[in-house]
Amino acid sequence: MGRDERVLQRAWSQEVEAYSKIPKGPNLASLEDFGYLSDHTPYIVFEWCDGDLLAYFKDVAVDWNTILPALIDILAGLELLHALNFVHRDVKPANVLVKDGRFKVADFGTIRMREVVDMGLTMSALGTAPYSPPELGDMSPSPAYDVYSFAVLAVVLLSDEDFSTREGVISAVDTIAVPAPIRALLRSCLAVDPLERPQSAGTVAAIIRESETGHAPGRRSNYLWT
């Protein structure tokens, strides 16, 4: 076995160890099985879900109140990861699955513990444009990385556009129909400097909860208090 293969196997072992530390929850896709095929190719199996986020909203008239339950579920899943000191690093609609009306963060293939483990290997930049923040490739990203990606996801859903650049996302924030506090929140989540963003999914959820309580008492979603 060559050095590169040993390094990759060690990385895979650390990845599986990370998965094993994530408890089951309603807003995280459950890990069902993992191992190696006969040719030593690693595999991982998550629970079967009905579809992804974009497919769910494909034929729905989307507005802030329509997508709010989905956003709250996504934040709940990310909050659990962040509490365990993990960063997902590839939050996007295709990695949010739907099952029995619940939205689940899935595809943890890019998850990393915030502590850098030196394996003598330079890890390639992971993520998907335009969801990846400016610090793409940071070896020790903070939860603010996922906060940025979450904001892009929200803007994509609300604008019904497929952006290719950060500039397109930023421009759309000014045109989507959302309450003023939510617009301000999205702008802060999309800050270039990660230290200027909310520092975790839990913080974002708390700001949304406060906004809903203070500005739309007649439209509170039960998701905000579950």
Q: What is the CATH number of the domain that holds 125?
A: 1.10.510.10
Distances (CA, A) of 105 to 22, 37, 144, 187, 191: 12, 26, 16, 23, 23
Distance (Å, rounded) from C-alpha 154 to C-alpha 105? 14
Residue of higher predicted confidence among 14 and 149: 149
Query: Active site includes 90?
Result: yes
The residues with which 97 forms a beta bridge, in sequence order, are 52, 104
Q: Does a structural domain hold residue 208?
A: yes
Of 68, 89, 82, 27, residue with least CA distance to 199: 82
Percent of the chain residues topping a pLDDT of 90: 52
Active-site pick, 52, 90, 107, 146: 90
Distance (Å, rounded) from C-alpha 51 to C-alpha 57? 10
Q: Does a structural domain hold residue 17?
A: no
Q: Does a structural domain hold residue 39?
A: no
Give, as one character, the DSSP assignment of residue 38.
T
Q: Does a structural domain hold residue 13?
A: no
Residue 5: what pLDDT? Answer: 67
Residue 2 has pLDDT above 80, yes or no: no
Residue 123: what pLDDT? Answer: 44
Q: Do residues 199 and 114 make contact, with C-beta atoms less than 8 angstroms apart?
A: no
Strands (E), the chain: 31-36, 42-46, 51-52, 86-87, 96-99, 102-105, 112-113
Distance (Å, rounded) from C-alpha 17 to C-alpha 24? 15
The model's pTM is 0.82
Distance (Å, rounded) from C-alpha 120 to C-alpha 189? 33
Q: Does a structural domain hold residue 43?
A: no
Residue of higher predicted confidence among 157 and 36: 157
Q: How confident is the model at residue 45 (pLDDT cuts 50, 70, 90)?
A: confident
Of 81, 183, 62, residue with least CA distance to 141: 81
Question: 101 is in which domain, residue-wise?
Answer: 49-225
Q: Does a structural domain hold residue 85?
A: yes
Q: Does a structural domain hold residue 67?
A: yes
Q: Does a structural domain hold residue 21?
A: no
What's 188-210 look like in SS3?
HHCCCCHHHCCCCHHHHHHHHHH
How many domains in the chain? Answer: 1
Residue 118 has pLDDT above 50, yes or no: no
Residue 71 has pLDDT above 50, yes or no: yes
